[in-house]
Protein backbone atom coordinates (compact mmCIF):
# COMPACT_ATOMS: atom_id res chain seq x y z
CA UNK A 1 0.00 0.00 0.00
CA UNK A 2 1.36 3.44 -0.95
CA UNK A 3 1.19 6.69 0.98
CA UNK A 4 -1.41 7.85 -1.54
CA UNK A 5 -3.58 4.85 -0.70
CA UNK A 6 -3.29 5.42 3.06
CA UNK A 7 -3.83 9.18 2.95
CA UNK A 8 -7.19 10.24 4.41
CA UNK A 9 -7.94 13.95 4.00
CA UNK A 10 -10.48 13.78 6.82
CA UNK A 11 -7.69 12.73 9.21
CA UNK A 12 -5.05 15.17 7.89
CA UNK A 13 -4.42 17.59 10.76
CA UNK A 14 -3.57 20.73 8.71
CA UNK A 15 -6.78 20.27 6.70
CA UNK A 16 -8.88 19.75 9.82
CA UNK A 17 -7.39 22.74 11.62
CA UNK A 18 -8.04 24.97 8.61
CA UNK A 19 -11.60 23.71 8.19
CA UNK A 20 -12.36 24.20 11.90
CA UNK A 21 -10.84 27.69 11.91
CA UNK A 22 -12.79 28.70 8.81
CA UNK A 23 -16.10 27.45 10.19
CA UNK A 24 -15.59 29.08 13.57
CA UNK A 25 -14.47 32.35 12.01
CA UNK A 26 -17.47 32.44 9.64
CA UNK A 27 -19.94 31.65 12.44
CA UNK A 28 -18.44 34.35 14.65
CA UNK A 29 -18.37 36.86 11.80
CA UNK A 30 -22.12 36.45 11.30
CA UNK A 31 -22.65 37.85 14.78
CA UNK A 32 -20.59 41.00 14.41
CA UNK A 33 -21.31 41.59 10.71
CA UNK A 34 -25.05 41.89 11.33
CA UNK A 35 -24.77 44.16 14.36
CA UNK A 36 -21.66 46.19 13.52
CA UNK A 37 -21.35 45.94 9.72
CA UNK A 38 -17.72 44.86 9.61
CA UNK A 39 -15.96 42.04 7.76
CA UNK A 40 -13.56 39.39 9.06
CA UNK A 41 -10.47 41.35 7.90
CA UNK A 42 -11.86 44.54 9.46
CA UNK A 43 -12.49 42.70 12.75
CA UNK A 44 -8.92 41.41 12.73
CA UNK A 45 -7.43 44.85 12.08
CA UNK A 46 -9.54 46.48 14.80
CA UNK A 47 -8.78 43.96 17.52
CA UNK A 48 -5.10 43.84 16.61
CA UNK A 49 -4.87 47.62 16.92
CA UNK A 50 -6.69 47.43 20.23
CA UNK A 51 -4.29 44.75 21.44
CA UNK A 52 -1.00 46.08 20.06
CA UNK A 53 -1.54 49.82 19.74
CA UNK A 54 -0.26 51.78 16.76
CA UNK A 55 1.20 49.38 14.19
CA UNK A 56 1.93 49.10 10.50
CA UNK A 57 0.03 47.09 7.90
CA UNK A 58 3.09 44.82 7.78
CA UNK A 59 2.83 44.14 11.53
CA UNK A 60 -0.85 43.23 11.25
CA UNK A 61 -0.21 41.08 8.18
CA UNK A 62 2.40 39.06 10.08
CA UNK A 63 0.40 38.73 13.29
CA UNK A 64 -3.01 37.80 11.91
CA UNK A 65 -1.67 35.77 8.96
CA UNK A 66 -3.60 37.75 6.37
CA UNK A 67 -2.41 38.96 2.98
CA UNK A 68 -1.15 42.54 2.87
CA UNK A 69 -3.75 43.49 0.26
CA UNK A 70 -6.60 42.31 2.52
CA UNK A 71 -5.18 44.20 5.48
CA UNK A 72 -4.77 47.33 3.33
CA UNK A 73 -8.32 47.14 1.95
CA UNK A 74 -9.74 46.55 5.44
CA UNK A 75 -7.72 49.48 6.79
CA UNK A 76 -8.98 51.74 4.00
CA UNK A 77 -12.62 50.83 4.74
CA UNK A 78 -12.06 51.36 8.47
CA UNK A 79 -10.42 54.73 7.79
CA UNK A 80 -13.34 55.80 5.59
CA UNK A 81 -15.75 54.81 8.37
CA UNK A 82 -13.74 56.87 10.87
CA UNK A 83 -12.57 53.93 13.01
CA UNK A 84 -8.84 54.29 12.32
CA UNK A 85 -6.36 56.82 11.03
CA UNK A 86 -3.31 56.24 8.88
CA UNK A 87 -0.08 58.12 9.36
CA UNK A 88 3.54 57.92 8.29
CA UNK A 89 5.88 55.90 10.52
CA UNK A 90 8.43 58.23 12.17
CA UNK A 91 11.32 55.76 11.84
CA UNK A 92 10.49 54.26 8.42
CA UNK A 93 8.64 56.69 6.18
CA UNK A 94 7.76 53.86 3.75
CA UNK A 95 5.42 52.34 6.35
CA UNK A 96 1.97 53.51 7.28
CA UNK A 97 1.04 53.46 10.95
CA UNK A 98 -2.55 52.56 11.78
CA UNK A 99 -4.21 53.94 14.90
CA UNK A 100 -7.66 53.51 16.40
CA UNK A 101 -9.72 56.68 16.67
CA UNK A 102 -12.03 57.35 19.60
CA UNK A 103 -14.85 56.06 17.41
CA UNK A 104 -12.80 52.91 16.72
CA UNK A 105 -12.11 52.39 20.42
CA UNK A 106 -15.84 52.72 21.11
CA UNK A 107 -16.60 50.12 18.44
CA UNK A 108 -14.02 47.71 19.87
CA UNK A 109 -15.53 48.19 23.34
CA UNK A 110 -18.86 47.02 21.91
CA UNK A 111 -17.27 44.17 19.92
CA UNK A 112 -15.24 42.58 22.70
CA UNK A 113 -18.20 41.39 24.81
CA UNK A 114 -19.57 39.64 21.70
CA UNK A 115 -16.18 38.01 21.18
CA UNK A 116 -15.89 36.92 24.81
CA UNK A 117 -19.40 35.46 24.73
CA UNK A 118 -18.56 33.50 21.58
CA UNK A 119 -15.35 32.22 23.15
CA UNK A 120 -17.27 31.09 26.23
CA UNK A 121 -19.70 29.21 23.96
CA UNK A 122 -16.80 27.49 22.17
CA UNK A 123 -15.24 26.47 25.48
CA UNK A 124 -18.58 25.18 26.77
CA UNK A 125 -19.06 23.19 23.58
CA UNK A 126 -15.62 21.60 24.02
CA UNK A 127 -16.08 21.01 27.74
CA UNK A 128 -13.08 19.27 29.29
CA UNK A 129 -11.39 19.07 25.87
CA UNK A 130 -10.94 22.87 25.76
CA UNK A 131 -7.83 22.88 27.94
CA UNK A 132 -6.02 20.32 25.78
CA UNK A 133 -6.99 22.08 22.57
CA UNK A 134 -5.75 25.41 23.88
CA UNK A 135 -2.45 23.83 24.97
CA UNK A 136 -2.06 22.22 21.56
CA UNK A 137 -2.81 25.46 19.74
CA UNK A 138 -0.28 27.30 21.91
CA UNK A 139 2.34 24.73 20.97
CA UNK A 140 1.52 25.04 17.28
CA UNK A 141 1.49 28.84 17.36
CA UNK A 142 4.66 29.25 19.42
CA UNK A 143 7.62 30.87 17.74
CA UNK A 144 9.48 27.56 17.84
CA UNK A 145 6.88 25.68 15.79
Residue 132 belongs to some domain of the structure:
no
- As a whole-number percent, the residues of the chain with pLDDT over 90 amount to 64
Q: Is residue 53 in a domain?
A: yes
pLDDT value of position 144: 61
- Per-residue pLDDT tens digits for 17-49: 999 999 999 999 999 998 899 999 999 999 999
Burial of 55 (0-12, 13-18, 19+ CB in 10 A): buried
135 within a domain of the structure (yes/no) = no
- Would you say residue 64 has pLDDT above 90? no
Residue 108 included in any domain: yes
Kindly report the average pLDDT of the chain as a whole number.
90
Residue 141 lies in a domain: no
pLDDT of 89 over the 80 cut: no
Q: Return the DSSP state at 90.
A: S
Q: Establish if 134 belongs to a structural domain.
A: no
Lowest-confidence region among 53-62, 103-112, 129-138: 53-62
CB burial class (10 A; 0-12, 13-18, 19+) of residue 14? exposed
User: How many CA atoms, within 13 angstroms, populate the side-chain half-sphere of residue 122?
Assistant: 17
Give the structural domain span for 91.
3-121
pLDDT of residue 65: 78
d(CA 92, CA 58): 12
Residue 129 pLDDT greater than 90, yes or no: yes
In a domain, 27, yes or no: yes
Check which CATH number belongs to the domain holding 67 and give it: 1.10.10.10
Total number of domains in the chain = 1
**Does residue 87 form part of some domain?**
yes
Amino acid sequence: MTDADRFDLNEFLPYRLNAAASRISRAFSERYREEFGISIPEWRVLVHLHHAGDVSVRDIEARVDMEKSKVSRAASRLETAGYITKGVNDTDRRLLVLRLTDKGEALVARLLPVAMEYQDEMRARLGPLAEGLEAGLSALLSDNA
